[in-house]
Chains A and B, each alone.
Chain A
């Protein structure tokens, strides 16, 4: 996803009308933003539409991009706003399919061997994450997978920094105890 400076330079180049930079930015940020949008819309289809609209806005307003203070947060804030709009639209539209199996943690989709852990532990881990309350999952995901700071997540989700800190602590504690439980069980065997 690149460093903050890289993103800054992408924004400046797009502001100058660089179509190549626009494409690169799209390819780099498509997946993380779709996954974030899906955590709000619960539908992959509408999450992809949201992200397409995010990039549409980016292009339409490209002249203003040089003035954006925090490019990364800017991407996430637009994505959040459009996702919330999409949810409102979904509610008005009957018969939408809610996809609860949406993958949020792209980094954990590897084979357990590649993660240097046993299959059992991998299962326990995914289950532990899955059982976290939805808000806790999203906060954890934004910090771990998307590399946002506590302060950025707080701003994005209208929470206090303290709450973000607590949510991450809860997530790690739950995951930690799942791992310890598995190892203890194996020791007894």
Chain B
């Protein structure tokens, strides 16, 4: 089939595998089929594009790599002296010297700048996700954050350089890059300090608790109004901090009441925990009261739900893949008896 032969020869030409006979054959095929010429020249153009160099931060990766070698006790600079000791040790000094100069320069930049810095540079960056959608974002230090519906994430100026401070209102799953600077996350009534790990935090403003679930690594949790106490989480552990809901007097209301340390909830699919299922676009709930499920459904589907108070303590379990809210409620009706009525974005659930 000449068509297939044409692509085969073009591939060989581009990858440098074609010999002169094959090159000539390709030329001839192109002359006989001029309409293939355009696609062929476009492909050649694409083929010649060299990869973008800035996709990953190689310098940062190299620093982490050296740290890792050090941790494993592999001597890097000292043991390299076998071949030419004198030159070697001088080179090491040179590198150290350069690093010191760079450090001083960076330090100078950040210690001297604030006086002259414009407010623009000092402002926190903000990423907000609307109800009904979820998103995945990359922080400047190349940590990955998945944000659940109706969440807002803010990160400090100079994030990844002088600090790694973030604030979360809502729910996020964090895969934090290992770095010397700890990532400090403020959410609800807790402060979470991490070096490199994966964890999930749920702290929506209206919730009566803040949940931190650890998947990998290690995190340190500090709870507001409990100074000096630090909770160290191990993988598959979860910490729930209860709080009294806001009262009329305002701010003093965010007082933590109780701290519960528990395990994360595995689902039938052992690869996913209930706490992180939303990252895979699944809404999972196990033995949850209807009252606490309603705000999650509202955010997930971007709807308003009015729930009959007699149903508040009804317990529900299930997994919802992205479907319409109508289908979701119909599925829930299979296990719990209730009726619902949809009017535009508002849903009324009755007994």
Contact = CB atoms under 8 A, between A and B. Distances in A.
Interface in B76-110: 76-77, 79-84, 88, 91-92, 95
Interface residues of A, number: 56
B4 A26 contact: no
B276 A165 contact: no
A179 interface: yes
B261 interface: no
A155 to B, nearest CB: 15
Given A150-B15, A175-B43, A169 B8 contact: yes
Interface string B33-52: 00110111011011101111
A23 interface: yes
Contact of A165 (B8, B59, B80): B8
B208 to A, nearest CB: 26
B91 A183 contact: no
A32 B52 CA distance: 10
Contacts of B58: 26-27, 30-31
A143 B271 CA distance: 33
Interface stretch (B61-69, B155-163, B287-295, B321-329): B61-69
Nearest to B176: A45
B62 A26 contact: yes
B198 interface: yes
A68 interface: no
Give the one of B3, B8, B11, B68 with max A CB within 10 A.
B11
A51 B69 CA distance: 13
Interface residues of B, number: 67
A93 B35 CA distance: 53
A64 interface: no
Contacts of A143: 11, 15
A107 B175 contact: no
B266 A94 contact: yes
Interface in B302-335: none
Interface string A92-108: 01111101010100111
A179 B271 contact: no
B272 A56 contact: no
A18 B80 contact: yes
A52 B49 contact: no
Given A23-B62, A52-B68, A95-B273, A34 B39 contact: no
A173 interface: yes
A165 B11 CA distance: 8
A64 to B, nearest CB: 14
Interface of B: 3-4, 7-8, 10-12, 14-17, 35-36, 38-40, 42-43, 45-47, 49-53, 55-56, 58-59, 61-62, 64-65, 68-69, 72, 74, 76-77, 79-84, 88, 91-92, 95, 136, 144, 173, 175, 177, 198, 215-216, 236, 264, 266, 270-273, 276, 279
Q: Which 3 interchain pairs have the tightest Cβ spacing?
A: A106-B51, A17-B80, A107-B49
Interface of A: 16-20, 23, 26-27, 30-32, 34, 44-45, 48, 51-52, 55-56, 59-60, 93-97, 99, 101, 103, 106-110, 115-117, 121, 125, 143-145, 149-150, 165, 168-169, 171-173, 175-177, 179-180, 183
